[in-house]
Structure 1
């Protein structure tokens, strides 16, 4: 299967860098799958799973908001956070989920509401990726 160069970068680290056969992630318009020779485009990345197929094997991680630049021979994903399931602190994610749900029960400004919804989405995604079913 043809490959392309994939880089997943966060402000703290180079999360992934290497050849990939396929990458799947959630964009703001829905899930998107990328193969070699994809048409050039830029998309907004949304909170959700990141699936990478390299050397015939799939690995899964979590990414949060960001952007992806897609070219026929290279994909660069710039994201706020990228984590493998084993890097996620489940207790911390549960506490974040509870805090976000509590904040959403209160009367909030539009900005506070949007931030709470985003925090809840991140916490739920972290919990889901650590316990896929």
Structure 2
């Protein structure tokens, strides 16, 4: 199967630079699967789960907001967060979710604080989704 060169870049640096057969992204209009020979595309991504598939190997990351540029043989993702499941501290993230939800419910935040808190909440929920994805219901 054809390979894609995949690069995931955050403000901290390159988080992933490797080939993959398929990438599943949390696009602004829903989940999007990308294979080699994809039509060129630039789009926004939202906080969520990113899956990299190579043969039997599957890597899952929680990603934040950003942009992705897709071409026939390359996927370049620029985002504000990219964490592997093992990097996520579930208890700390769950606390951050609770604090953000409380702050948003109180409605005492200014517009900028409200937007920043909502963005933090979205990134935290993406992390919890990735961390909890393999647990039985």
* Deviations 1:49-92, CA, capped at 9 Å, x for gaps: 01001243211111101110101111100111100111011122
Match of 2:106 in 1: 106
Match of 2:87 in 1: 87
Per the TM alignment, residue 131 of structure 1 is displaced from its structure 2 partner at its CA by: 1.0
TM-score w.r.t. the length of structure 1 is 0.93
| Alpha-carbon distance in structure 2 between the residues aligned to 1:61 and 1:52 | 8
| Alpha-carbon distance in structure 1 between the residues aligned to 2:55 and 2:18 | 10
| Alpha-carbon distance in structure 2 between the residues aligned to 1:118 and 1:27 | 16
Gaps of 5+ in 2: none
| 1:7–1:75 Cα contact (<8 Å) kept | yes
The 5 Å alignment of 1:1-133 reads: 1-107=1-107, 108-132=109-133, 133=135
Q: How many residues align?
A: 133
Per the TM alignment, residue 27 of structure 1 is displaced from its structure 2 partner at its CA by: 1.2
| 1:21–1:56 Cα contact (<8 Å) kept | no
Per the TM alignment, residue 111 of structure 1 is displaced from its structure 2 partner at its CA by: 2.8
TM-score w.r.t. the length of structure 2 is 0.90
- Aligned to 1:121, the other structure's residue is in SS state helix
Per the TM alignment, residue 24 of structure 1 is displaced from its structure 2 partner at its CA by: 0.4
Q: What is the Cα-based RMSD across aligned positions, in Å?
A: 1.3
| Alpha-carbon distance in structure 2 between the residues aligned to 1:95 and 1:36 | 40
Gaps of 5+ in 1: none
